[in-house]
Copies of this chain bind each other. A is one copy, B any other.
Amino acid sequence: MIILGVDPGLTRCGVGVIEAGGGRRLSFVHVDVVRSDPSQSQDLRLLKIWRGLSEKIDRFAPDVVSIEQVFAQHNVDTVLGTAQVAGLAMVAAAERSIPVAVHTPSEVKLAVTGNGAAQKIQVERMVARILHLNKLPQPPDAADALAQAICHALHPSGELQGGERDQHLTAAQRQWAVAVQKSRNASSKMRGRGM
């Protein structure tokens, strides 16, 4: 199974592709960052990211696209652009009838390192170890996209959402997580895809 992970961002959008074989064996396929120019207008920047993501999805034909959950409470200067890029990734997948999964940053860190509040370097090292890379994933800030894909491979149904993860959430994130969980329950009932 091919999993394409997305770490959404308007200036830099991480894309990481892995293959999940039998016995939870995971192997590295691709990692890259799709960029847009901050001096351009919002519509042209989103178009650039849209084309980049569409090209990656066409090239790697993933079985699932897994996208980092965006929280409304995050950095107010960038959250709308980040949410817009996450939305584009969803539509690019949905247009091709590819299932979409969403995992929070804490879920991803917990799945990859065993610690939902792990530092970035810990995540990078564990991504390299899990995927048998000789050095840390390059470019470094695309490691999150590979981590997102690994998280989905190990915990496709988001079973990390209970107790342990919640320890790492702020009150606002916890409130948001409850809303997310509600909407996930509603949508998994509708779709029955087990995401």
Chain A residues in contact with chain B, CB under 8 A?
39-44, 46-47, 50, 70, 72-73, 76-77, 79-80, 83-88, 90-91, 93-95, 100, 102, 179, 183, 186-188, 190-191, 195
Contact = CB atoms under 8 A, between A and B. Distances in A.
Contacts of A102: 42
B77 A43 contact: no
Given A100-B41, A100-B43, A79 B90 contact: no
B183 A91 contact: no
A191 B86 contact: no
A181 to B, nearest CB: 13
A155 to B, nearest CB: 18
Number of copies: 2
A85 B183 CA distance: 18
User: What are the 5 tightest A-B residue pairs by CB atom distance, in nearest-first order?
Assistant: A84-B87, A41-B187, A43-B90, A47-B94, A43-B100
25 contacts: A40-B187, A40-B190, A41-B183, A41-B191, A41-B195, A42-B87, A43-B93, A44-B94, A44-B191, A46-B87, A46-B90, A47-B90, A47-B91, A47-B94, A47-B95, A72-B72, A72-B76, A72-B79, A72-B80, A79-B80, A83-B84, A84-B90, A85-B87, A87-B88, A88-B88
